[in-house]
Structure 1
Amino acid sequence: MKKIINALFAAVVLLSSAGALQASGGALQSSAAVATAAADTGMLIEPMDIVTVAAPLRPDVRPVTLAQLEDQLRRPELQASLGKGSIAVVYPNVEEPFRSAFLAMIQGIEDRIKLRVRAYPVDPHVDTTDLNNTLKRSGTKVVIALGRQGLSATAGLDREISVLAGGVLLLSESENVTGISMTPDPAMLFSRLRLLLPELRRIIVVYNPQKSDWLIKLAREAAKAQNLELSAYVAADLASAAKLYSQLIASADNRHDAIWLPHDSTTVEESTILPLVLKESWNSNLPLFSSNVLHVKKGALFAMLPDNVELGRTLAASAMGVIAGDVRRRPLVPLRELQTAINLRTASHIGLNLGALQQRSFDFVYPQP
């Protein structure tokens, strides 16, 4: 049973929504292989040992095998022509489990525009000049760049080709990128938290401004809109973060306060800071939630993760807007196409007993009831 539980949760780690594809399940992925793929894609902060399984098929997504989708993407004459131009997708040429996540995004793109798109898998050292020429010959007006590798490949494109980014975990306003970050929208995180803990009054977060300033600005607005106080503390290094967490948790009110762990590699460093925060919050019965779904298995109360098919649909809608003449420059936005995972053991520990109906409101439950 434990192996089954771990396998099911691992499907979450694959950035989810790859359930739209019939990916093969049960194959062990070594941490070294995952680390290499993660570095190429930019989609995970920290590699973990993963068991790959097929996530359940969603009823609103047409069933298609991975082989069928790959075959469709290899057909060069199939493209999305929306009157005034075409949409193309550039994505990393990586192995499973990450490949299925990108293909699920592509499936969502095609579901939205009702046409096939030209999709170009790119390697780390892709010839950007050749890619630019290929896209121009096919009449491409908008490129949806998936993953850090896909986004890097578009750096040398002509200015008349618009680029929308998606499937990249960490982006900031300073990168001058339009698109959707893989960081969950704080407003949606806080809303779910309020549903679980109606007496909540304050959210505590420790962050590095160089990495998370844009996100904290959004979080302040989201907290205010939901009548919550956001207590944000700056830490520029691991030592400062560790000291702050110890002080804040010791003085927190476990009935009205909660700790939020954003995607911040300084203040939520995986090998030192995370174990410390998890242990001290557990001992204090202080609710802790995260933007990183990997933390749910380790003891966070809940986290949100990408719905890759829905993300693809949203990216396609934005691309269609550009084709239709919407040329306004939009800032990077956080991810709103989300699913939710919860840790029932942690919920019970802090006195939150979720019935069967409440449990069904979560897409992934750990450990399995």
Structure 2
Amino acid sequence: MIRAKTCAARVAATAALLLGALAGTAGATPTLGGAPAAALPTIELPGIPAQARQSVGALFDTIDGASPALPGRDDVVPVTMAQLEDQLRRPDVRASIGKGTIAVLYPNVAQPFLAAFSSMIKGIEERTGLPVRSYAVDTRLDGAELNARLRQAGTKVVIALGRQGLSATAGLDRDISVLVGGVLLLSDTDNVAGISLTPDPALLFARLHALLPELKRVIVVFNPKNSEWLIRLARDAARAQGLELAAYVAGDMARAAQLYPQLIAAADGRRDAVWLPHDATTVEESTILPLVLRETWNGGVPLFSSNVLHVKKGALFAMVPDNVEMGRTLASSALGMLAGGPRGRTLAPSRTLQTAINLRTASHVGLQLGWQQQRSFDFVFPRP
């Protein structure tokens, strides 16, 4: 049996990241936006608080889907954890300690949302083994004050978490490198590299193939303004798994609502599956998502998602970034920058992922998962 308390706490943290990364007004901790200078020490990082564990249900019921577009990326080269570990063993990286410091900017949000960012900061500190100054920021931020503080601390690399964290880097000196994490999609920005919350399609499709090896086609409806960059990656990922990616364009919700019933009605549940990416237009939560859930359930067509919040609602499975591991990966890149490595200019999809499964939906599509198979998933619904 999956340990219910552990599962609930971990789901709360991962769900909070999806919500907290987009939050702009929640929270009331001292910040660079409005607090006196004396109220700005580095934060402590306790374990995930009780509030996070108690808020799982509410977190699964809401999500802010708004997200700007990211142009197509042809230069995304996945980096394995083994490669990152090798980088940390390099003498020049170890010698970089003392050449500068790493700072983290994170949104000024309340619990349980803060727990997700705290987990990422924990991963950053574990990987670097260096003092990491962490600053809560909000829309009242004084950019000049932040820049002066970072300069005084000898900061050479900033890891910006969430949209507020990224926005706070706009006024920084150009010789301070910026990495970003804890965001969904970004517009093209010259001095931005990092990791998106969007799961790498290669890992999603690999999990799909492992669960349902007879499938031949993945159906996806997307808005090019939001997801064209992701669909480019998905085409190659599908081909690597022997799958056809059948991608259909919907520039607005009305077109998406028209397409889904037609595509699902024509699908063969033994050979086809429907994928829901992070797309605010074609995966709108209040109208489009219930429509897709109903149509795929009635048609016996497997539905999987890039959004872990959809699993409790009926999607077969979804993948979500591991907050601590994302922090570790960002820290490895930051150490490389301290060692004189080049600044990246690519936001890559997340490859350090956790997976959720809905056993009721699995049974409905003819997939029976034994105890050993269930243990390969991080979150299992319905909860035991």
- 1:245 counterpart = 2:260: yes
Structure 1 residue 7: Cα displacement: 5.5
User: What pairs with 1:81-96 in structure 2 (closer than 5 Å)?
Assistant: 82-96=97-111
| 2:202 counterpart SS class | helix
Match of 1:236 in 2: 251
Q: TM-score, normalised by structure 1?
A: 0.82
Structure 1 residue 27: Cα displacement: 4.3
1:152-179 Cα offsets, whole Å, 9 max, x none, are 1111111100110001122244686311
Find 1:156's aligned residue among 165, 171, 184: 171
Match of 2:342 in 1: 327
Which one has more relative contact order, counting CA pairs under 8 Å at least 6 apart? Answer: 2
- Give the fraction of aligned pairs with identical amino acids, expressed as a percent: 65
User: Do 1:172 and 1:211's aligned partners in 2 also have CA atoms closer than 8 Å?
Assistant: no
1:194-252 Cα offsets, whole Å, 9 max, x none, are 11001111111000000001111111111112211111110000111111111110111
Q: Work out the CA distance in 2 between the residues paired with 1:117 and 1:140.
A: 10
Structure 1 residue 13: Cα displacement: 2.2
Q: For the structure 1 residues 27 and 288, does the alpha-carbon distance in structure 2 shift closer, same or farther, using more than 3 Å as the test?
A: closer
User: Do 2:156 and 2:177's aligned partners in 1 also have CA atoms closer than 8 Å?
Assistant: yes
Structural RMSD (CA): 2.6
User: What pairs with 1:118-129 in structure 2 (closer than 5 Å)?
Assistant: 118-129=133-144
Structure 2 unaligned segments of length 5 or more: list them: 21-44, 67-95
Paired AA for residue 281 in structure 1: T
User: Do 2:13 and 2:112's aligned partners in 1 also have CA atoms closer than 8 Å?
Assistant: no
Q: For the structure 1 residues 10 and 319, does the alpha-carbon distance in structure 2 shift closer, same or farther, using more than 3 Å as the test?
A: closer
Q: Work out the CA distance in 1 between the residues paired with 2:268 and 2:306.
A: 22
User: What pairs with 1:247-266 in structure 2 (closer than 5 Å)?
Assistant: 247-266=262-281
1:324-354 Cα offsets, whole Å, 9 max, x none, are 1111534110011110000000000000000
Q: Work out the CA distance in 2 between the residues paired with 1:202 and 1:30.
A: 33
Match of 1:45 in 2: 65
Match of 2:198 in 1: 183
Match of 2:182 in 1: 167
Structure 1 unaligned segments of length 5 or more: list them: 39-43, 47-80
User: Do 1:89 and 1:117's aligned partners in 2 also have CA atoms closer than 8 Å?
Assistant: yes
User: Do 1:172 and 1:212's aligned partners in 2 also have CA atoms closer than 8 Å?
Assistant: no
User: Do 2:123 and 2:325's aligned partners in 1 also have CA atoms closer than 8 Å?
Assistant: yes
Q: Work out the CA distance in 2 between the residues paired with 1:169 and 1:114.
A: 28
User: What pairs with 1:320-359 in structure 2 (closer than 5 Å)?
Assistant: 320-359=335-374
Structure 1 residue 10: Cα displacement: 4.6
Q: Work out the CA distance in 2 between the residues paired with 1:128 and 1:157.
A: 7
Match of 1:14 in 2: 16
User: Do 2:191 and 2:345's aligned partners in 1 also have CA atoms closer than 8 Å?
Assistant: no
Structure 1 residue 14: Cα displacement: 2.5
Q: Work out the CA distance in 1 between the residues paired with 2:115 and 2:371.
A: 31
Find 1:115's aligned residue among 130, 133, 142: 130
- Equivalent pairs counted in the alignment come to 323
Q: Work out the CA distance in 1 between the residues paired with 2:103 and 2:361.
A: 43
| 1:14 counterpart SS class | helix
Q: For the structure 1 residues 267 and 222, does the alpha-carbon distance in structure 2 shift closer, same or farther, using more than 3 Å as the test?
A: same
1:289-338 Cα offsets, whole Å, 9 max, x none, are 00011100110000011210000000000111111111153411001111
- 1:213 counterpart = 2:228: yes
Q: Work out the CA distance in 1 between the residues paired with 2:56 and 2:273.
A: 34
Paired AA for residue 253 in structure 1: D
Find 2:306's aligned residue among 282, 291, 294: 291
Q: For the structure 1 residues 174 and 163, does the alpha-carbon distance in structure 2 shift closer, same or farther, using more than 3 Å as the test?
A: closer
Match of 1:23 in 2: 49
Match of 2:159 in 1: 144
Paired AA for residue 179 in structure 1: G
Q: Work out the CA distance in 2 between the residues paired with 1:175 and 1:349.
A: 47
Paired AA for residue 326 in structure 2: L
Worse-matched range after superposition: 220-229 or 4-13: 4-13
Paired AA for residue 50 in structure 2: S
User: Do 2:104 and 2:159's aligned partners in 1 also have CA atoms closer than 8 Å?
Assistant: yes
Find 2:209's aligned residue among 189, 194, 211: 194
| 2:329 counterpart SS class | helix
Q: Work out the CA distance in 2 between the residues paired with 1:241 and 1:318.
A: 38
Worse-matched range after superposition: 152-161 or 163-172: 163-172
Find 2:380's aligned residue among 359, 365, 368: 365
